[in-house]
Amino acid sequence: MKNVYVFKVALKHVKGLWRRIEIRSDQTLGNFDRIIRDAFNHDTWDHLGEFYKERWSQGGYGEIYPDGKGSGTGKQIEQLGLSEGDKFGYVYDFGDEIHHILTLEKIMEPEKGVKYPRVISKNKPNYRYCETCKKQGQKTIAKWICIECSEDKESDVILCEDCMEEHEDHFVDEILY
């Protein structure tokens, strides 16, 4: 019995950022919401998520709260009636509206001993480098962006793990690759 769905989940408004996710047909949109949040560094303590068919404005499958509750949580993947090649949408954060396009690439047999859902691959990262280190002639991958300093300087202040310590009291966000 084939019951693992392989989805490519891509950010709609940022080019080149995607994750390939496997989920079992009997798992729910609540399970899917959770792994998308993890895979894209979205909060798991704030903001709503919702899956939808074509346009979110035409209504979705129901709200999903960060704690996994909500009217859109219980629906099973197989109840969506999807075939290979079908697309649907997911929105995270009803204020900022971060939209994702989900494409069902394949339905396949489950692998023994694998815990689903899981991320099996992702886009090739297009790394940016820490600006503080750059000034000292070093090339270190930036992991954080300081939102406060970026707003002050009106350009992205991006930092490696070590250099982030000086911004610990600021509002920083993890950079998604």
Nearest distance in Å: CB 154, Zn ion: 13
Closer by beta carbon to Zn ion, 19 or else 143: 143
DSSP 80: G
- C-beta of residue 20 within 8 angstroms of C-beta of residue 7: yes
Q: How far is the CB of 153 from Zn ion (least distance, A)?
A: 9
Binding site for Zn ion (CB under 5 A): 130, 132-133, 140, 146, 148-149, 160, 163, 167, 170
Q: Would residue 62 be called left, alpha or beta, if left means φ above 0 and alpha means ψ between -120 and 50 degrees?
A: left
- Cβ closest to Zn ion, residue 101 vs residue 133: 133
CA–CA separation, 48 vs 76, rounded Å? 19
The residue among 43 and 148 lying less far from Zn ion, judged by its C-beta, is 148
Rg (the chain; Cα; Å): 18
Q: Which is nearer to Zn ion, 80 or 160 (CB)?
A: 160
As a whole number of angstroms, the distance between CA 8 and CA 87 comes to 9
Q: How far is the CB of 139 from Zn ion (least distance, A)?
A: 10
Closest distance between Zn ion and the C-beta of residue 104, in Å? 40
Distances 174 to 40, 143, 151 between C-alpha atoms, Å: 10, 6, 16
Asked if residue 172 lies in contact with residue 145, where contact means CB atoms within 8 angstroms, the answer is yes
In the numeric block, which tokens belong to residue 157?
A: 């202040």
Question: Which residue lies nearer to Zn ion by CB, 43 or 173?
Answer: 173
Nearest approach, Cβ of residue 140 and Zn ion (Å): 5
